[in-house]
Structure 1
């Protein structure tokens, strides 16, 4: 990321406790009031700090406003909400960083509440706008779908999937230590940046606190908000799933395998349910469920290994134990044995056909041999190939 910095702050950088970073892209309507509130909050509470405007290419006079307000401007060439914040944070001088949007929906006069928690030793302090965490949404401040569906749903998912101790996953007003930011090595340049920060902090067991805040109506008059309800909602859901192989691959895979085994248990003896006989066709569907489920479970392991190796997520003791037990040779042996059982089973069906002089066979009886045979053959082959892939991902490297 390429940035250029223009300093408008007379504080000695070594004495700066707090950097307030405000991403900016044509925010002339509200930027001045945001800067003024942040500066007043620090001044009134004896906080030595700076206000940084991380500009992403404004052309509406935002830069002139920042200069007039004696804020420090960091021009970030890489486009995106996350890119702007990264540029501003990396150019900051404070021990603590507080980030917040420039639309005046977040009240920067609440900054001292975040600083108090950071001084108490917390690594990340999240604002909470929702009543579940003591926050307040002012009338007209949040669209109906965001208030009653999007935010509650994604917050519930985050608490379930990543054990987040927060009640408002989307809140953009938050504070954190510069040391935490450097350690997390965040990579997202879009709106997922804020979500990545919270997920990684939760997964690595950081000390996270939450303070109630009030969300005010967007103060901008001359342009629409950057947020897009459905596309940004999908991006969040996609990000959640990619950061959780367990919920994306493992849980659906286990369910499908379980469903397939039930199908086998009913179809092999030809059980009748409500007059419907579960026969070879049910067996075929059950095999499909098992094969897809097993593949999904394999993806869970492979995705977990890759994510850990690339440092998307922290190390997992279960994966370490997996490699203590698993070897490529064991995987090949088990997979080959399973495939061999499948081939032998298929061979039994061929022999039976040969014994009849290659005449017609009883469909239901024959398929009870053929379907399990090809299912075992496929599962064994998947196991061999998956073992090679896991070994490739797990190879030691510098």
Structure 2
């Protein structure tokens, strides 16, 4: 936090909430204590309880997002709020606010995203939902395998971001799959990621999870499938093409063996279908190559846009600092003249 105070960096704490009246007051107080100079934003997502009133009473900046779903709330937050560092958490009091200053420090040190890693600490002991544990392991294993990464917690909701990340990240997901999307986006674009183990605690009594284990789990897996198809088209379509072509070659080989023994092609429909499968496999591979070139161009464009945002952000901060300096100097001169 010393880093933050010395450089006048602004910090925004983002708390998307839906019916969290049991815990939101404590969460706001904890973050105010951990980051006293930060602005605490609570975005109420059509709550039917007193979440918004309690947050406002605790001094949070309360806004409302009518589009239901955590992804929609994060999208609104990223669009509306300007800060040098963003800390995102949930309003259910499962994440420790005392870890936030260290996360802010890492962003100020140059990282694009800091991940609050629950799975390396107390998650599997505290979380009482076994299917969630299984789902976390499945998602983590599949993404790390496909992207050659070593991220421990893919789906954590406790993260910190730089200004450039927030303003260049395209939020596509509408629901709880947003965290998985963020991780895949970061890995695909080779962003600077830092994982920090945090102490996870289960929801307190009376607080109810909004996560549908089966429904949201399917959405997460569908998000992974879609993003792999978009970000890794050559392995996706190339692998599928290889499998299809291999099946076609198998059928072709069986027809050739029959021809070798009898001198007659007895299964013309099988041969025709086999050749079509081989051609389809080759077309899938070519599709993967073309889309892979497109994906690489998209990554180049993203890097270019990120560099522009980073440059503009530094330039704006420099201008503001100069304005503050000359404004303060003018005030001091005026005071001395009096």
How many pairs does the alignment contain? 288
Query: What is the aligned counterpart of 2:218 among 234, 241, 255?
Result: 234
Please give the residue correspondences for 1:327-338 in structure 2 after superposition, counting only pairs within 5 Å: none
Question: Aligned pair 1:169/2:133, yes or no?
Answer: no
Partner of 1:215: 200
Partner of 2:248: 260
Partner of 1:97: 86
CA distance in 2 between partners of 1:243 and 1:218 (Å):
31
- Name the SS for the 1:65 alignment partner: helix
Change (3 A) 1:308 1:160: same
Please give the residue correspondences for 1:275-294 in structure 2 after superposition, counting only pairs within 5 Å: 280=267, 283=271, 286-287=274-275, 289-294=277-282
Question: Aligned pair 1:113/2:95, yes or no?
Answer: no
Shift of 1:259: 3.1
The answer as to whether partners of 1:125 and 1:208 remain within 8 angstroms in 2 is yes
Partner of 2:123: 137
- Bigger Cα displacement from structure 2, 191-200 vs 32-41: 191-200
- Structure 2: 5+ residue runs without aligned partners? 1-6, 303-338
Query: What is the aligned counterpart of 2:227 among 243, 247, 269?
Result: 243
Query: What is the aligned counterpart of 1:297 among 266, 269, 285?
Result: 285
The answer as to whether partners of 1:49 and 1:94 remain within 8 angstroms in 2 is no
Partner of 1:203: 188
Shift of 1:33: 1.2
Larger radius of gyration: 1
Per-residue CA deviation, residues 23-61 of structure 1 (Å, 9 max, x unaligned), is 011110111111111111113xxxx21111011122311
- Name the SS for the 2:20 alignment partner: coil
If each structure's helix is expressed as a fraction of its own residues, which one has the higher value? 2
Partner of 1:371: none
CA distance in 2 between partners of 1:97 and 1:296 (Å):
41
The answer as to whether partners of 2:78 and 2:167 remain within 8 angstroms in 1 is no
CA distance in 2 between partners of 1:215 and 1:54 (Å):
22
- Name the SS for the 2:155 alignment partner: coil
What's the TM-score once normalised by structure 1's chain length?
Answer: 0.65
Per-residue CA deviation, residues 344-368 of structure 1 (Å, 9 max, x unaligned), is xxxxxxxxxxxxxxxxxxxxxxxxx
CA distance in 1 between partners of 2:252 and 2:15 (Å):
59
CA distance in 2 between partners of 1:67 and 1:271 (Å):
81
Partner of 1:322: none
Per-residue CA deviation, residues 223-244 of structure 1 (Å, 9 max, x unaligned), is x312112221221221112122
Question: Aligned pair 1:66/2:55, yes or no?
Answer: yes
The answer as to whether partners of 2:42 and 2:55 remain within 8 angstroms in 1 is yes
RMSD of Structure 2 on Structure 1 (CA): 2.9
What's the TM-score once normalised by structure 2's chain length?
Answer: 0.75
- Structure 1: 5+ residue runs without aligned partners? 1-13, 273-277, 317-398
